[in-house]
Chains A and B, each alone.
Chain A
């Protein structure tokens, strides 16, 4: 087994009296791709936000390579640089063009040389098929293009792992594929990732492990074949059933 990269122990998160994450523990190994699925409001997104210390937590411990991530601590920005995150939408900076969006954090937070980062940024943009968009502004891009830029922006910080929070949920159906392909490419290159998604086919294809979350608890933790073909719990079965029912209904409408 590869070395441990991210370790989550007994993570608990409450909003007032409402427990959103209840004693969550799991470990992510280097190069592993973990897909988190579960019904809306089960705490998937909140979990990612806690890993990036965008939310204070009420209990437990999150460590990356042994360094603890504590909400509000002084060295938070350097820890966050080691974890890339891509959100559902609206997270490109609208006042900066694509290249400046990518350059901002490497040059300001990591104080790297602009030439060097520009070169790298252009290579990454080329990899996702957007090298001709470097000077465009976010408003001139399609949703799928924006998300690919957001991924490049995070990659350019050389993160040790990436978090993806429903990155295709706000996209028109025809744009989903181009974003998922980029993520598949990353997985092939051995990037460690935690992916929250509703795209079940994609989950099946990319995951090394699937976590099924409900009501703030991990109900199942299995390899994708087991989870999708033979889920252990009744709840996971129901969830997958409801999902496929909804999909067939969508198909009918078309």
Chain B
């Protein structure tokens, strides 16, 4: 059995430190998702507007955010704000800003898609049953939209968690950074630590994301 460098994980507080690093990434994703969902719903509703200016502006925002790699957006906010505004913002704040902007765009597109996919005859048959427009929304349209949206929003959470691994690249101390520190500190005593530690990080992400994906898939099947 070759040395897989797994012993390092059980040394001192290494495991706790890794989990702490993971929490930093997860926390940033959760905050970003929590802000993105209401903003995204708002954006989605705004995007169904017929006003050409609103349409154009939201469209450009959406396309730019979605075509740019998230890491580029992180660089723009993290490095760009310093040079443009002269303020130094922390990596964490830059991350929350970028992931919220991205999450809002994604969520907005999902909401818009869900809203326009409700067939016209749903509105018409509600009107034929003499429901008022607000009753129509409350009892007919929103429940259907929500069913379509919940699995997709849950998927957005896993995408967000996976994407937050990028914050390493703007110097936030998260799980990968902690992993590097642990490997570095044990270079002499455990030369193969990189294997065990990175495998652990990979599994940690999997253990978080997989159940969430499964839940999304199940709900999608149930409500699809």
> CB atoms of A and B under 8 A apart anywhere in the complex?
no
Chain A interface residues toward B at CB < 8 A = none
Chain B interface residues toward A at CB < 8 A = none
